[in-house]
């Protein structure tokens, strides 16, 4: 079945904006989970980034205005090819070698901070055998690097099995980049490992921290 890459897939079961009864939260004490063992066998994995300001009057939450958080990832395929998927530089798609459709893509760039759906990155797990590793990250493109105020959360929505949540509940003042989670397919199994590692620098510094080995040039959006 062909995938329509111009539309967002419907949210996975339990993705109803409320409290999920089928969710795994990765923590320092329990940082990893196998998506395969949790019931995911393929399909599209949706990775959602959302962030909030502190409660405003009436107890409601409002998206943080004045801070532009960008979701992206570094990827490496099994043939050794590497790259980045992010809004910066309009690098919205990545194809595994030999694939006739995108393997990883970003659905857009929420620059205003007013989109309640946040930003979404998709990984086609039908191509898992071509993926060596995917490092999901967020970057404060504009605004003061204040992760505590942003109160960010990344949620992975597999097509089956529980949601996987990673809260950006640590902070390093002045660090604009956060490595969030590492996706690692191996021997037919896809696992997710919590990182939540703040980087005092940009994507090139993130690359060096994880020994990705790419060459970087300045980009814009």
Q: What CATH number should be reported for the domain holding residue 54?
A: 2.60.60.30
- 157 forms beta bridges with 46
Q: Residue 72 in 3-state DSSP? A: strand
Where does 106-159 have alpha helices with state H?
Answer: 147-150
In the chain, pLDDT over 90 holds for what percent of residues?
A: 52
Residue 8 lies in a domain: no
Domain membership of residue 74 as a residue range: 23-209
Residue 16 lies in a domain: no
Residue 184 lies in a domain: yes
What total of structural domains would you count in the chain?
1
10 contacts: CB under 8 Å, gap ≥ 6: none
Q: What is the reported pTM?
A: 0.82
Residue 17 lies in a domain: no
Residue 61 has pLDDT above 50, yes or no: no
Residue 152 lies in a domain: yes
Average of pLDDT values for 185-208? 94
Residue 183 lies in a domain: yes
- Which tens digits make up the pLDDT trace of 85-94? 998 888 999 9
Residue 217 has pLDDT above 90, yes or no: no
Q: Which two tokens stand for residue 221?
A: 């959006």
- Which tens digits make up the pLDDT trace of 2-32? 444 444 444 443 344 444 458 999 999 999 9
Q: What is the pLDDT of residue 118?
A: 79
Residue 9 lies in a domain: no
- Which tens digits make up the pLDDT trace of 99-126? 889 999 998 655 444 455 778 999 999 9
């Amino acid at each position: 079945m062909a995938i329509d890459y111009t539309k967002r897939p419907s949210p996975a079961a339990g993705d109803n904006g409320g409290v999920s009864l089928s969710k795994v939260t990765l923590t320092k004490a329990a940082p990893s989970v196998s998506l395969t063992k949790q019931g995911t066998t393929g399909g599209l994995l949706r990775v959602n980034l959302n962030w909030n300001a502190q409660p405003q009057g009436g107890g409601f939450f409002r998206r943080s205005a004045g801070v532009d958080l960008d979701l992206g990832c570094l990827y490496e395929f099994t043939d050794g090819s590497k790259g980045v998927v992010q809004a910066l530089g309009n690098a919205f798609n990545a194809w595994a070698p030999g694939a006739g459709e995108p393997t990883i893509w970003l659905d857009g760039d929420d620059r205003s901070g007013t989109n309640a759906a946040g930003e979404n990155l998709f990984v086609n797990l039908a191509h898992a055998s071509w993926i060596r590793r995917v490092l999901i990250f967020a970057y404060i493109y504009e605004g003061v690097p204040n992760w505590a105020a942003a109160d960010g959360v990344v949620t992975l929505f597999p097509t089956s099995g529980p949601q996987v949540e990673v809260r950006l509940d640590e902070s390093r003042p002045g660090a604009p980049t956060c490595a969030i989670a590492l996706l690692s397919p191996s021997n037919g199994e896809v696992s997710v490992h919590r990182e939540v590692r703040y980087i005092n620098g940009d994507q090139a510094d993130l690359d060096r921290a994880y020994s990705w080995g790419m060459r970087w040039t300045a980009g814009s959006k």
